[in-house]
């Protein structure tokens, strides 16, 4: 784990002047560096996002992780959905946090994508942990945690109950665009890797990266702001880079060239062409 690691030793600063020095020893697949293949909201290019259909397909496609978006119902159930309203991806309307779990569960989260997915329900966080842990990694995004007070504790409790908060369970990562939430998550679950999401270049300055390195293990930028220099600096600070959202082969190839550690994609076959 990288937390608190290099700030104190000063090693980070010397590495920052030679950011590519670590790349030679990284594992490879053929001539390419080994990269984690993360199915974004499941294999969401082929099945409705954040549903079991999309997650099962990610498993079939041999992705390394599924990425999930966690929010909360009005009556406190953790559920998986990307937008803070149900309007785009279900047959209902309204804010996720204003609807009871029963109301959310009765919605059809599949047919907007294709009639073969009619009736796919919104999954719960806990059922997805139970169904997939040990089969595929889970990259857990806390979506807009600022509107769900205490969601960090709830997520931590669900992981602890399942013994998923220990170092041997490496394939759980928690990430968010909300950095304060991730600092809190790191305090609650110090052994679980933490990621910070950004599409803002202001979050990629050396000062920002040094701050992230005090609590995060992953810096996860949108691919439009990824450079080799950024990847080298994040690596020099002992963290990894996971970038999103890949929806073309060109974007995947660009990120391979940049030397990122994980590619977050709607199409796992762009990252692992065996599928």
State the minimum distance, in angstroms, from the CB of residue 49 to ligand G3P.
Answer: 9
Using the rule CB under 5 A, which residue among 141, 165, 217, 269 binds Ca ion?
141
Q: How many residues bind to Ca ion according to rule CB under 5 A?
A: 2
Tokens of 108: 């059809």
Q: What minimum distance in Å lies between the beta carbon of 67 and Ca ion?
A: 6
Closest alpha carbon to 171 in 82, 40, 67: 67
For residue 274, give both structure tokens: 């065996």
Q: What's the CA gap between 169 and 163, in Å, rounded?
A: 8
Residue in the structure block whose two tokens are 């997939």: 132
- 203 touches Ca ion by CB under 5 A: no
34: Cβ contacts below 8 Å, ≥ 6 apart: 26, 27, 28
d(CA 3, CA 191): 10
Give the one residue of 36, 49, 56, 69 binding Ca ion; rule: CB under 5 A. 69
| Shortest distance, position 246 Cβ to Ca ion, whole Å | 13
Q: Which CB, 64 or 69, lies closer to ligand G3P?
A: 69
Q: Sort strands 194-198 and 32-33 into parallel, antiparallel or unpaired.
A: unpaired
82 catalytic? Reply is: yes
Quick check: 41 and 49 in contact, CB under 8 A? yes
Q: Which residues contact ligand G3P by CB under 6 A? A: 40, 67, 69, 82, 141, 197, 220, 244-245, 264
Told to check if 36 binds Ca ion by CB under 5 A, we report no
How buried is residue 60: exposed, middle or buried, by Cβ count under 10 Å (0-12/13-18/19+)? exposed
Q: Does 49 bind Ca ion (CB under 5 A)?
A: no
Query: Rounded to an integer, what distance in angstroms lies between the CA atom of residue 28 and that of residue 137?
Result: 20
Return the number of the residue (66 or 239) whose C-beta is nearest Ca ion. 66
Report the partner that residue 245 touches, choosing among Ca ion, ligand G3P, none (CB closer than 5 to 8 A by kind): ligand G3P
Q: Of 80 and 189, which CB lies nearer to Ca ion in the complex structure?
A: 80
Q: How many Å apart are CA 222 and CA 217, to the nearest integer? A: 17
The token pair at 10 is 């000063």
Nearer CB in complex with ligand G3P: 141/269: 141
Does residue 152 interact with Ca ion by CB under 5 A?
no
Residue 235 bears catalytic tag: no
Instruction: Give the nearer residue to Ca ion in terms of CB position, either 144 or 252.
Output: 144
Which residue among 40, 95, 133, 235 is the active-site one?
A: 40
- Positions that interact with Ca ion (CB under 5 A): 69, 141
Catalytic residues: 40, 82
């Amino acid at each position: 784990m990288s937390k608190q690691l290099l700030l104190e030793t000063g090693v980070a600063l010397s590495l920052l002047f030679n950011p590519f020095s670590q790349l030679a020893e990284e594992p490879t697949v053929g001539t390419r560096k080994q990269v984690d293949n993360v199915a974004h909201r499941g294999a969401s290019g082929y099945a409705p996002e954040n549903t079991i259909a999309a997650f099962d397909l990610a498993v079939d496609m041999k992705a390394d992780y599924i990425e999930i978006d966690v929010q909360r119902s009005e009556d406190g159930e953790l559920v998986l959905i990307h937008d803070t309203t149900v309007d785009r991806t279900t047959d209902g309307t309204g804010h996720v946090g204003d609807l009871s779990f029963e109301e959310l569960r009765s919605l059809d989260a599949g047919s907007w994508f294709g009639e073969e997915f009619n009736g796919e329900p919104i999954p719960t966080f806990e059922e997805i942990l139970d169904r997939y842990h040990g089969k595929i990694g889970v990259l857990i995004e806390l979506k807009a945690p600022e509107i769900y007070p205490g969601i960090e504790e709830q997520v931590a409790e669900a992981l602890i109950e399942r013994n998923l908060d220990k170092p041997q369970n490496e394939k759980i990562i928690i990430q968010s665009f909300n950095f304060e939430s991730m600092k809190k998550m790191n305090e609650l679950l110090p052994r679980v890797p933490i990621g910070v999401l950004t599409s803002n270049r202001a979050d990629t300055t050396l000062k920002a990266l040094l701050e992230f390195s005090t609590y995060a293990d992953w810096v996860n930028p949108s691919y439009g702001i990824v450079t080799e220099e950024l990847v080298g600096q994040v690596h020099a600070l002992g963290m990894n880079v996971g970038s999103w959202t890949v929806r073309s082969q060109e974007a995947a190839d660009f990120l391979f060239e940049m030397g990122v550690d994980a590619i977050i994609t709607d199409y796992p076959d762009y990252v692992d062409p065996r599928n």
